[in-house]
Amino acid sequence: MKPGDQDLLIVVDLQYDFLPGGALAVPHGDAVIAPINRLARAFRHVVLTQDWHPAGHASFASSHPGKQPFDLVDLHYGSQVLWPDHCVQGTKGAEISGELNIPHAQLVIRKGYNEGIDSYSGFKEADRQTSTGLEGYLRERGFQRVFCAGLALDFCVAWTAMDAASAGFETYLIEDASRAIDTNGSLEKARQDLEAAGVRTINSAQIINP
């Protein structure tokens, strides 16, 4: 499946806070950097997402007295996993890793900047109403197929891929170029949800060595 002009790679949240030593480190998150750098060379079109929260964001456990990271709370739009403070706007942890080597990336889409709403997806915030504008961008650019990779597979990569599929794009999740957090069965649930959404799971070798 050699990427062509209507194919887009979305690299999700390759930020210091999700990498080893970061505030919300994904286990072995740094293992995705080399495969993503290789993959990105095969794509003419690449978009990066960047988790980008104001201090005091509703997804932070520290914003909910008595709660701990990974607890669940009910917010106005539904159930929300609470996280350690991470990817606060303007901090080092929110920066995209300098080891990512994709100088030809065309767009960085920031998400999670509304104080009261989380946004795992690069397309739609967790209230499932508020759009980031990415769907319109993809349509206007004429993309047909979307390939997703990055961190974390069971949250931001999965939700981005599912929203791409539900927007009508032929969508692939590149598994060996993604890593999961896997809290409370989240990885198994994500796999089921991805399959139900019609997202196809592939490995980077199918793109790089077809």
Catalytic residue among 17, 85, 111, 124: 111
Question: How many chain residues touch Zn ion (CB under 5 A)?
Answer: 2
Nearest distance, CB of residue 97 and Zn ion, angstroms: 16
Half-sphere exposure of 148 (CA within 13 A, CB side): 31
Q: Cα–Cα distance between 66 and 79 in angstroms, integer?
A: 17
Residue type, 37: N
Q: What are phi and psi of 9, to 5 degrees?
A: -100, 125
111 is catalytic: yes
**Tokens standing for 155?**
């949250």
Task: Rank residues 7 and 125 by Cβ distance to Zn ion and give the closer one.
Answer: 125
Binding segment for Zn ion among 44-52, 135-143, 165-173, 174-182 (CB under 5 A)?
Answer: 44-52
Q: Which of 51, 85, 154, 163 binds Zn ion (CB under 5 A)?
A: 51
Nearest distance, CB of residue 60 and Zn ion, angstroms: 9
Task: Rank residues 3 and 112 by Cβ distance to Zn ion and give the closer one.
Answer: 112
Between residue 91 and residue 130, which ones bind Zn ion under the rule CB under 5 A?
A: 112
182 is catalytic: no
Q: Is the four-CA dihedral 61, 17, 191, 107 of positive or negative sign?
A: positive
Q: Cα–Cα distance between 44 and 49 in angstroms, integer?
A: 17
Task: Rank residues 51 and 135 by Cβ distance to Zn ion and give the closer one.
Answer: 51
Reduced 3-state DSSP string for 44-64: CCEEEEEECECCCCCCEHHHC
**Tokens standing for 173?**
């999740």
Binding segment for Zn ion among 30-38, 43-51, 68-76, 162-170 (CB under 5 A)?
Answer: 43-51
Residue nearest to Zn ion (CB): 51
Nearest distance, CB of residue 120 and Zn ion, angstroms: 7
Question: Does residue 85 interact with Zn ion by CB under 5 A?
Answer: no
Task: Rank residues 93 and 112 by Cβ distance to Zn ion and give the closer one.
Answer: 112
Task: Rank residues 35 and 122 by Cβ distance to Zn ion and give the closer one.
Answer: 122
Half-sphere exposure of 64 (CA within 13 A, CB side): 21
CA quadruple 9, 150, 180, 208: dihedral, nearest 10: 60
Nearest distance, CB of residue 86 and Zn ion, angstroms: 6
Contact status, residue 49 vs residue 109, Cβ threshold 8 Å = yes
Give the interface with Zn ion as residue ranges (CB under 5 A).
51, 112
So which residues are the catalytic ones? 13, 111, 156
